[in-house]
């Protein structure tokens, strides 16, 4: 078995209780990574942006308009990033935790108040083979579930909410949404959308619902509410032993929704990245380096490349993924840490402009409703 496949199995084992077990263990008081009014909040870096052509030529500088006040909220759960040497992390806000919030969640602050709990996740070391316990996995889920309940009780006040996650964050949220949102009409009505990337969200084969969720359908239009956007990005044929895009359940398939063309087909996508490098010296920083692309690093907080890639959902070879193709001289990413992972490390950024635009349109539709 290849090392990436072993890592996937380790992730699945680490999160098995999070996905299927009972939630009997009480969680401690929520530690917030991002929350409105929090000092030194990594989710509110400012919006000034330098725009580049696909090939990297500087075009202009501008500041996208923000909603003041924000009309909706975003609840974000981050992926596996902790470099702590134990199988499961503490709730220390380490540099890599702050970096991932900047990379994946902060741009949404243009249109929503971002709430992001710290949770005692399975660490990079845990994926590498250092074994933890099922109780620790359950504790990670309880941290997120408790934060969600605290958010609803203390902060929501009837507002619409986008639920967002990537990788391990999506694995945890698949269970949380299934238990805490999907079966509860009053809570489900608050759901603007769920953006669950890089985590193999499932639906019934040939359908838009019926796998992970009974009621929450795939998003197929920009004004559809209470729906889910999910994909894993690749830019080459998907290996047979790929970590993402396949499920062992014969009646199910992994969901792919193209945020730039929800109804189907191919469309240009807009990538957005922070100009600040990911936390230096960390495992994720190394993984980003292995992708072989020098991202723009302008003096503004953000670098945006409209139309640098085109994307389409593909089921070639039985894998359901978002295939991204470089356009007009855009750099070509190398899969990292191996071809079986595809473009996992840039799932949240390669089409971030389209995801943010989708949230804008869904927010407007929610306000009208």
Q: Which of 75, 263, 217 is nearest to 152 (CA)?
A: 75
**pLDDT tens string 27-60:** 579 999 999 999 999 999 999 999 999 999 999 9
Specify which residues 252 forms β-bridges with: 204
Interval 114-133 mean pLDDT: 90
**pLDDT tens string 98-107:** 999 999 999 9
Q: Which of 343, 366, 327, 93 is nearest to 223 (CA)?
A: 366
**pLDDT tens string 299-336:** 999 999 999 999 999 999 999 999 999 999 999 999 99
Confidence of residue 350 (pLDDT cuts 50, 70, 90): very high
Whole-prediction pTM: 0.93
CA angle at residue 63 from 58 to 64, to 5 degrees? 110
Express the helix, strand and coil content of the chain in percent, nearest 5 each. Answer: 30, 20, 50
DSSP 272-328: EEESSPS-TTSHHHHHHHTT-------SSSEEEEEEEEEEEEE-GGG--EEEEEE-T
Specify which residues 116 forms β-bridges with: 34
Q: Which of 157, 195, 190 is nearest to 78 (CA)?
A: 195
3-class DSSP assignment, residue 187? helix
Task: Say what the pLDDT of residue 133 is.
Answer: 83
pLDDT-above-90 percentage for the chain? 88
Task: Say what the pLDDT of residue 130 is.
Answer: 73
Task: Say what the pLDDT of residue 17 is.
Answer: 37
Interval 346-361 mean pLDDT: 97
Token pair of 204, please?
């019934």
Query: Residue 156 and residue 147: Cα distance in Å, rounded?
Result: 12
3-class DSSP assignment, residue 166? strand
Task: Say what the pLDDT of residue 68 is.
Answer: 86
């Amino acid at each position: 078995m290849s090392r990436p496949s072993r890592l996937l199995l380790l992730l699945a084992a680490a999160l098995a209780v999070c996905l299927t077990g009972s939630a009997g263990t009480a969680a401690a008081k929520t530690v917030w990574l991002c929350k409105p009014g929090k000092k030194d909040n990594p989710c509110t870096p400012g919006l000034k942006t330098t725009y580049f052509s696909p090939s990297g030529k500087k075009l202009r500088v501008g500041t996208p308009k923000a909603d003041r006040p924000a009309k909706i909220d975003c609840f974000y759960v981050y992926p596996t990033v902790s470099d702590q040497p134990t199988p499961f992390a503490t709730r220390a806000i380490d540099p890599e935790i702050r970096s991932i919030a900047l990379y994946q969640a902060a741009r949404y602050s243009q249109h929503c108040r971002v709430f992001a709990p710290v949770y005692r996740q399975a660490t990079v070391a845990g994926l590498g083979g250092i074994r933890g316990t099922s109780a620790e996995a359950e504790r990670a889920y309880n941290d997120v579930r408790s934060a969600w309940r605290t958010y609803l009780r203390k902060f929501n006040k009837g507002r619409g909410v986008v639920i967002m996650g990537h990788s391990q964050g999506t694995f945890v949220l698949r269970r949380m949404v299934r238990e805490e949102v999907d079966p509860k009409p009053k809570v489900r009505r608050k759901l603007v959308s769920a953006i669950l990337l890089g985590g193999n969200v499932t639906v019934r084969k040939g359908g838009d619902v019926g796998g992970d969720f009974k009621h929450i359908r795939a998003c197929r239009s920009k004004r559809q509410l209470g729906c889910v956007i999910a994909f894993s990005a690749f830019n080459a044929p998907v290996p047979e032993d790929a970590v993402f895009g396949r499920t062992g359940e014969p009646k199910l398939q992994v969901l792919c929704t193209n945020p730039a063309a929800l109804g189907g087909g191919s469309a240009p996508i807009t990538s957005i990245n922070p100009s600040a490098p990911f936390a230096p010296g960390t495992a994720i920083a190394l993984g980003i380096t292995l992708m072989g692309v020098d991202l723009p690093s302008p003096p503004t907080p953000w670098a945006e490349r409209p139309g640098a890639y085109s994307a389409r959902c593909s089921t070639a070879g039985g894998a359901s993924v978002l295939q991204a193709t470089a356009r007009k001289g855009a750099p070509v990413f190398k899969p990292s840490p191996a071809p079986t992972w595809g473009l996992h490390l840039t799932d949240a950024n390669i089409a971030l402009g389209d995801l943010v635009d989708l949230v804008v349109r869904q927010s407007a539709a929610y306000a009208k409703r």
